[in-house]
Amino acid sequence: MSTVRKCFAVDLHDDPALIERYREFHKPGGPPKAVTEAIRADDIRVLEIYLVGNRMFMIMEQGDDFDATAKAERDAENPDVTAWDDMMKTTYQKRLPFAPEGSTWIEMERIYSLDEQ
């Protein structure tokens, strides 16, 4: 079984109280169970979010059965997932200055790998 690692970035609104609330939402048991189940059901094997200041970085490792289009369709039909995503996008996350309008998490390009040196 192989995995593909992808990395994404987004900013949070630069408000210490909002950032702390965002941290609380992401502690173990914080996200709704339906959100965690939806992530796991789509063969996402690893998902970690890192924070520095108000910039976030997400590492996601996807298995062979991951299908981004199918996941987006299933998520759109899941009211718990859409409510969570809407809250994150409208209250906490802020579009990166160079990102397309309406987007949040933007996939990053890997430009270096120690294994390739």
Give the CA distances from residue 68 to residues 20, 63, 64, 100, 106, in Å, rounded to whole numbers and listed in that order: 30, 11, 11, 18, 14
Active site residues: 13
E strand intervals along 1-117: 3-12, 44-52, 55-63, 93-94, 106-107
CA separation for the pair 80, 98 (Å, rounded): 29
Beta bridge partners of 63: 3
Count of C-beta atoms within a 10 Å radius of residue 85: 16
